[in-house]
Structure 1
Amino acid sequence: MAEPLQADPKAPLADLRIALFSGNYNYVRDGANQALNRLVGYLLRQGAQVRVYSPTVPEPAFPATGDLVSVPSIAFPGRGEYRFPLALSPRLRSDLAAFAPNIVHISSPDIVAHRAVTWARHRKLPVLASVHTRFETYFRYYNMAWFEPAVEAMLRRLYRRCDALVAPSESMAQVLRDQRMNYDIDIWSRGVDRDLFNPGLRSLEWRRNLGIGDEEIVVGFHSRLVMEKGLDVFSDTIDELRRRGVVHRTLIVGDGPAREWLEDRLPDAIFAGFMGGQDLGKAVASMDVLFFPSTTETFGNVTLEAMACNLPVVAAAATGSESLVADNKSGRLIPPGAITQFADAIVTYLDDADLRAKHGAAGERRARDFSWDRINQAVADTYLRLIRQRAKKR
């Protein structure tokens, strides 16, 4: 096994050997694995060595950054696009031993992550867990809210066995503290690519191709279309706008297993489908207001991308959005599920072009603070700190 890093506060990142475990590194695109791939890319550029362990599929959503080792998995029941990791097999244990990491990073609370933590603890290696979503809340959207306390207890057991956690926002870190998950929690925020998301990408031609008039005001949503993104609240609010006779267009960018449900629910909405890269930036910049009522975000990449495009954001007052949106300055934060209040906030923006512009500009200024390199260096600094702390205990 590789010798641990010495307690040198200026130790170079080239001394890092990171074993990263992910439940979904690249087979389905989402905000969490986009952040992980960016992190790995940054670490590799700094000379660190990273080996990623994750389920794989023959045709992933995008190429993996770094060395990817396939973890045995099966399709997740009821959500076949996702894979359920099965075991830290002898093959993986042999690969780990050959790689000889000096820190282990887990990013999803699955069986293999539990086994990886045990593997690391037996070898007195530090373990960092990154928290990307509020898994315990997902069961509310599938009529299984009764199961949430048990899931929270299972998460606590895993996270308390880790040396530290990183969370995407201070609001999420406080939730984790309140849940007694761990008391060593650093912030690993999220960045935004300003080449892909900026006001200059707004395109009236793109809107026209979708049948949107130049003077029409667009209430937009962009995310993976799954129920835990608040699609029920979104559709109920759009219905409320319709009942009030509020003139607007609803634009939904994204795809997922709940798309058919949402298309049936909102037959007058425009569904642009999945987009990536600059096409996605153009779609977001071509909206006028982002409406994002999800309560399961730990950060809110969608919110930050809209802010970078100069849009005011109407969001649920929940983890993630609370750390990004300044209420009544760059958008509105509304109590989760408060349909009438969501509708009121959207109407205010639809009726007041000057307020849209003012709050959009404030959000764009805030988005300038989120540099990916600075953000990813914070994770690297946490790796180095945990290795130094572990070395002192030997």
Structure 2
Amino acid sequence: MNTRALRITLVIETAPAQMGGEAHTLAQLSEGLRRRGHRVEIVRTRHCDEAMRAGPELLLCRSWRLPGYPALQWGAVSMHTLTRRWRRQRPDVLYIATEGPLGLSALRAARRLGIAVVSGYHANVPRVCDQLRLGALVRVLTHYLRWFHRRSAATLVPSVSLSLALQRRGFEHVSVLDRGVDAQLFNPSRRSQALRERWGLGAKDIAVLHVGRLLPEKNLALLAPCWHALQHQSAQRRLRLVIVGDGSYRATLQRQLPDALFCGAQTGEALAEHYASGDLFLFPSLHETFGNVVLEAMASGLAVVAYDQAAAAQHVSPGHSGALAMPGDHRAFIEAACWLLEDSETLRRVRLNARQHASRQSWPAVVEQFESYLLAACHQSARAPLAAGAALAIKPGSPTPRG
């Protein structure tokens, strides 16, 4: 049990409707913290169909999308609005998950009020800049992010590789906060033969899945050559490519893959059923800082093919619970996928091992670790005024007080 109930504010520039990795993770953390007895306030952007509103546990802010990059949403709220709100009901600690205008306003208000701050680093800045053709801004943005995160007690990242990369760039107080998976929701028991029949598959046929937002930066152009290679290798077996998700790249994929089945965005039990009804999971992304879908697919009993980075590097044991390729080696990625379909016994064994590993990655353990970072930040913040007071009481050059 925690030693102290906290009043915690979580700040993120993503609405639940986007439900990318950051929003999904924050939803799990907030619910877990509430179960552990903490008071949790959410400050986030609103979705287009949500009304502006504020209450003791939720503050919705205006938002806009970055031109040319619709997946990125920024929030707008003044520092003075947050300062007034937090003077009336002061949080013990803030967790700022994003570094945009909303995150910056929250950071400035927290520093003005002396509130402890923990931050999260999720964005792959060089990749985003490449996508926007703003490579010249990488140095400027890296400098800003380093400045931002130095003003928090700890910067939490989802993988060891990202932690090392940030430390090489001069980031300080970087710690890893892993990700969990709901192994009861994402479970092989949700496999649906009725759904597979709608996909045109029998019990022994193979469903090849991809789940995620369909965006150009996700390296989805690799799906077409990989799918064609799988079809060529498995000409005697019935295969079906099933793509779950939506986004600006969907129309391009539909032209490249006219025989694929596009199911749109799915959530909750419907998403879990889609996962469990598949067999092989293709995850070609090259710039994820984690990739929650990897753990969800493994928990659902799928054999994952991915690049050796982020979540896949941490959770996939090559040849045992999945197949990995060196980042950027497209041919090796395709060969890894084909290897998994060479032999039905290999595929069965890998799927069982994937489920066994993922079922041990629980959210409660992650929430407890997150709680420990927040408590440590509070203790550090409480000690700081005492140290500052002692420094003021005995100024350099003043006479030493006598007993």
TM over 0.5: yes
Change (3 A) 1:106 1:188: same
Output the aligned Cα RMSD: 2.4
Compared CA separation, residues 65 and 120, structure 1 to 2 (3 A): closer
> 2:79 and 2:61 mapped to 1: Cα distance?
8
Does the Cα contact within 8 Å between 2:222 and 2:330 map onto a contact in 1?
yes
Specify which of 67, 82, 88 is matched with residue 98 of structure 1: 88
Residue of structure 2 aligned with 1:250, choices 232, 241, 250: 241
Over residues 217-254 of structure 1, what are the superposed CA-to-partner deviations in whole Å (9 max), with x where a residue is unaligned?
22211011112222123334334445767563211111
Instruction: Give yes or no for the alignment of 1:130 onto 2:120.
Output: yes
C-alpha spacing 1:377/1:284, structure 2 compared with 1 (3 Å)? same
**What is the letter of the counterpart of residue 166 of structure 2?**
L
What is the 5 A alignment of 1:312-351?
312-351=303-342
Q: TM-score, length-normalised on structure 2?
A: 0.87
The runs of 5 or more residues in structure 2 that have no matched partner are 386-403
Q: Answer yes or no: is 1:210 the counterpart of 2:165.
A: no
Which amino acid is the alignment partner of residue 101 of structure 1? Answer: P
Give the aligned partner of residue 175 of structure 2. 186
Q: Tell me: CA distance 1:98–1:66, structure 2 relative to 1, closer, same or farther (3 Å).
A: closer
Question: What's 2:401 paired with?
Answer: none
Answering whether residue 304 of structure 2 is matched by residue 295 of structure 1, we say: no
Answering whether residue 223 of structure 2 is matched by residue 234 of structure 1, we say: yes
Residues 147/207 of structure 1: CA separation in 2 closer, same or farther (3 Å cut) = farther
Q: Deviations over 1:18-70 (max 9, x none)?
A: 2221101424222221211121112222222222211113536xxx9982202
Asked whether the 8 Å contact 1:52–1:66 carries over to 2, the reply is: no
Matched residues in 1 for 2:21 and 2:281: separation? 17
Between 1 and 2, higher relative CO (CA 8 Å, sep ≥ 6) is seen in 1
**Structure 1 letter corresponding to 2:130:** R
Render the CA deviation track for 1:184-221: whole Å, top value 9, x for unaligned.
23332222112221111122221111223433322211
Q: Deviations over 1:101-148 (max 9, x none)?
A: 121211011022123222222333321012234243223334444443
CA shift at 1:177, angstroms?
Answer: 1.9
Question: 2 CA distance for matches of 1:211 and 1:105?
Answer: 46
- Per-residue CA deviation, residues 257-293 of structure 1 (Å, 9 max, x unaligned), is 2211211121121111111111111111111111101
Query: Is the CA contact (8 Å cut-off) linking 1:255 and 1:274 kept in structure 2?
Result: yes
Amino acid paired to 1:390: S
- The answer for the alignment partner of 1:221 in structure 2 is 210
Q: 1:276 aligns with which of 263, 267, 270?
A: 267
Aligned equivalent of 1:384: 375
Residues 1:162 and 2:152 aligned together:
yes
Distance 1:310 1:245, change over 3 A: closer
Say if 1:28 and 1:82, in contact at 8 Å, map to a contact too. no
Structure 1 residues 239 and 97, CA gap change in structure 2 (3 angstroms): farther
- Alignment gaps of 5+ in structure 1: 1-9
Please tell me whether the aligned partners of residues 180 and 363 of structure 2 are also in contact (alpha carbons under 8 angstroms): yes
The alpha-carbon deviation at position 360 of structure 1 amounts to 1.4
* Contact 2:245 2:264 (8 Å CA) reproduced: yes
Checking the alignment, whether the CA contact within 8 Å between 2:79 and 2:109 is kept in structure 1 is no
- Calculate percent identity across the aligned residue pairs: 28
Indicate conservation of the 8 Å contact 2:79/2:106, yes or no.
no
Larger Rg: 2
> CA separation in 1, counterparts of 2:248 and 2:18?
12
Partner secondary structure for residue 94 of structure 2: strand
Give the whole-Å Cα distance in 2 for the aligned partners of 1:233 and 1:153.
33
Specify the code of the residue in structure 1 equivalent to 2:359.
R
TM-score by length of 1: 0.89
CA-to-aligned-CA distance 1:1-21 (integer Å, 9 cap, x gap): xxxxxxxxx86341x122221
1:173 aligned partner: 163
Larger mean Cα displacement after TM superposition, 226-235 or 316-325: 226-235
Distance 2:76 2:42 in 1: 16
**Residue 88 of structure 1, CA deviation:** 2.3
**Counterpart pick for 2:16 among 9, 26, 36:** 26
